[in-house]
Structure 1
Amino acid sequence: MKRRTRANRPAYRHPGNMFVPIAQQAKRSVISIRAQLRPAKPQRSGSFAIPFGWPYADDAATTESVGTGFIIRSDGYILTSEHVVHNAESIQIKLYNGDKYAAELIWCDPVRDIAVLRIRASKPLPAMPLGSSGKTKVGELVISVGNPLGLEHTITTGIVSAKNRRMASTKNKKLYEDILQTDCAIHPGNSGGPVINLNGQAIGMNAFVVKDNHGLSFAIGMDCIKQHIRSFLPREAGSE
């Protein structure tokens, strides 16, 4: 039997490819969202930033919003951005294995841009571990998983560029607290997707990007989110 050499070993098994196992595990907990919206006047963004999950169409007919979410409980609870499902008359999610479900909006906070959905699956779902944005350090390597432009389960990487940002938009009536700034590549459809540390834990939820600047993206810190969705979390969640 020939001994496997470095030359014929799969490149993804190289110890330098630290993101491969994290991405493979994380993608199982990330879902895509398509929400059919009630006819309404399109929402406009504030001057400092543009959310990247607003509906693509802007006519008076029912439009579709595309975004991302991730499973936080094995019994079907999902975390996402409120603006992804705002004014939705129906919400459909798609799991990593291709299964599709109608989702119910369980709770939302339009001001802080947080929403919790639920689906009724026939078996337990792979929930993503939740980490701590407070314990996260500037300079940490992170990955983002989402559905930019409808391209499902796209992985991008970067670092935590800054912490504890606070931004508000009077036009959108949004208040973002405990913001993590990263340089992960983010595009329309990434809203509601997780920012994940090297332990495979979600430390934030992608929220918006700065207008006309492709090098900055912002996520709501997980510690802030936990304060508002604690009743929807399993008892063991929240530990580092």
Structure 2
Amino acid sequence: MFRNTRRHAALLLAAAAAAGAGSLHDHGDSAASVTVSASTPLRQLLSTATTGLLFSNPHFAPWQGGFPVLNSFVSASVPPTDLSSQGSGGNSDDSRCCPGCLGRNSIAKAAAAVGPAVVNISSMHESHGWVLGKSIGSGTIIDPDGTILTCAHVVADFQSTRAVHKGKVSVSLQDGREFEGVVLNADRHSDIAVVKIKSKTPLPAAKLGSSCELRPGDWVVALGCPHSLQNTVTSGIVSCVDRKSSDLGLGGIRREYLQTDCAINQGNSGGPLVNLDGEIVGVNVMKVMAADGLSFAVPIDSVVKIVEHFKKNGRVIRPWLGVKMLDLNPVVIEQLKERSSSFPDVRNGVLVPMVTPGSPAERAGFAPGDVVVEFDGKPIQSIKEIIDIMGDKVGVPIEVHVKRANNVPVTLTVIPEEADASR
């Protein structure tokens, strides 16, 4: 019983020290006793928790500002250490065991690296000769020439089928400068837009990172500038990469989001999502109202491709095949083989469960149950590979190799059409 009593006491004291609520002092006398000093709330907690457990034992004295502990008792846990130099205000050590680890100042440094490039975007309209502005979102300068990334819904009206750009917006920087911005492009399906401002001097610009290597659990920081000169900073982790649609049939639109638990409000829309190196890995687009702390961002790798489309074509061109697709893996393949022994013998590929009537895929001869194993001369393992190969190829014939039931190989030629944005 006495051993159990000492063990319970050790656990309580170790917890107090680990929580930073107290400090350990070695008196250095012959008894080599150690005293744990605690704040009043913790002292009350320990007193309550140990009543009848420790103080009922004659080997322990009542609490009198400190708790005498036998040396053998302490040696079983953590040796006494001088913690006087490790106070919360004096520790500037930001060492990290590896680049992806979180240090004491990691989030603050990441926010500081990109903060000057985060801007507030307001709509502009005149009333009785006065130019009025309404704060509607955030953006990030990605080039010293004044190129800004933001959300399409911040700078364009998508209430109608056709997007109507708001034309000009007011852009406020963290240093107090204000500029008139021009909306260059906006894509409603990805919710990404590009705004341009002009300055006589180079502007602060954020560095673009990469989102392809982000994993669930990686730390990210969401920034915004919802109230003119005041930045907001929230941190969290990547929950998952959420591919919202693998449907290349109805409109050919495939949305891909980074799902995070960063707190994002409406004014943060268009602001950057950055990694611990202060690099942009996404653009904040929305939060889920019914789920506190659940937010989404467009991966920066997708954003870069959208911007390239803007520069090359003036809009995002999305080839349309007219098929639904499903990534295959050994587990899914085994399940499908159990359901039908005629399912083709493949190790990987992309399954076509549905073909849209009247689509390019139907005209090419695609049929439900086809497994795409080669697309435009390249072996295929995922839908993403097909998307990347198609790029903006519209009206260009593409040779596709598929396998059908009982391992029947078929070669098809499909000519993608441009997706109708109104579908």
| TM-score category of the 2 structures, normalised to the smaller one | 0.7 to 0.9
Q: Does residue 67 in structure 1 map to residue 155 in structure 2? A: no
In the other structure, the counterpart of 1:104 is: 182
Q: Which amino acid aligns with 2:138?
A: T
Shift of 1:107: 1.4
- 1:118 counterpart residue number: 196
- Name the SS of the counterpart of 1:189 in structure 2: helix
Find the aligned partners of 2:172 and 2:190 in 1 and give their Cα distance: 25
Deviation at 1:111, TM superposition (A): 2.4
* Matched residue, 1:18: 106
Q: Which amino acid aligns with 2:115?
A: K
| d(CA) in 2 for partners of 1:176, 1:209 | 19
Question: What SS does the aligned partner of 1:72 have?
Answer: strand
Q: Does 1:229 align with 2:307?
A: yes
The two structures have a TM-score, normalised by structure 2, of 0.44
Whether the 8 Å CA contact 1:37–1:89 is kept in 2: the answer is no
Preserved CA contact (<8 Å) 1:65 1:85: no
Consecutive aligned runs of 4 or more in structure 1 exceeding 2 Å deviation: 5-11, 62-65, 87-90, 147-152, 230-233
Partner Cα separation in structure 2 for residue 112 and residue 22 of structure 1: 26
Q: Secondary structure at the match of 2:207?
A: coil
SS at 2:183's partner residue? Answer: strand
Relative distance call for 1:220 and 1:184 in structure 2 (3 A) is same
Question: Which one scores higher on RCO, CA 8 angstroms, separation ≥ 6?
Answer: 1
Q: Can you list the C-alpha shifts for 1:98-144, whole angstroms capped at 9, x where unaligned?
A: 11100011111122211101111111112111111111111100100
Could you state the TM-score of these two structures normalised by the residue count of structure 1?
Answer: 0.74
Q: Distance in 2 between matches of 1:30 and 1:164?
A: 25
Query: Contact 2:114/2:205 (CA < 8 Å) preserved in 1?
Result: no
Distance across 1 between alignment mates of 2:216 and 2:125: 38
Q: Offset of 1:149 from its aligned partner?
A: 6.3
* Inter-partner Cα distance in structure 2 for 1:229 and 1:214: 31
1:217 paired to 2:295: yes
Partner of 1:85: 155
Q: Secondary structure at the match of 1:228?
A: helix
- Gapped regions of structure 2 (runs ≥ 5): 1-84, 95-103, 127-131, 158-165, 312-423
Query: Which whole-Å CA distance do the structure 1 matches of 2:216 and 2:183 have between them?
Result: 34
Deviation at 1:147, TM superposition (A): 2.8
Q: Does 1:127 align with 2:205?
A: yes
Shift of residue 64, structure 1, vs aligned partner: 3.4
Larger CA Rg, structure 1 vs 2: 2
Which region of structure 1 is more displaced relative to structure 2, 147-156 or 188-197?
A: 147-156
Quote the Cα distance in structure 2 between the aligned partners of 1:37 and 1:109: 23
Identity across matched positions, percent = 35
Report the equivalent of 1:55: none
In structure 2, the CA distance between the partners of 1:20 and 1:229, relative to structure 1 (3 Å rule), is: same
- Aligned pairs, how many? 200
1:30 to 112, 118, 127: 118
Q: Secondary structure at the match of 1:103?
A: strand
After TM superposition, give the deviation of residue 150 of structure 1 in Å: 6.2
Gap runs ≥5 in structure 1: 39-61, 234-240
> Could you tell which deviates more after superposition, 224-233 or 187-196?
224-233
Partner Cα distance (1:86, 1:215) in 2: 26
Aligned equivalents of 2:154 and 2:267: distance in 1?
A: 9
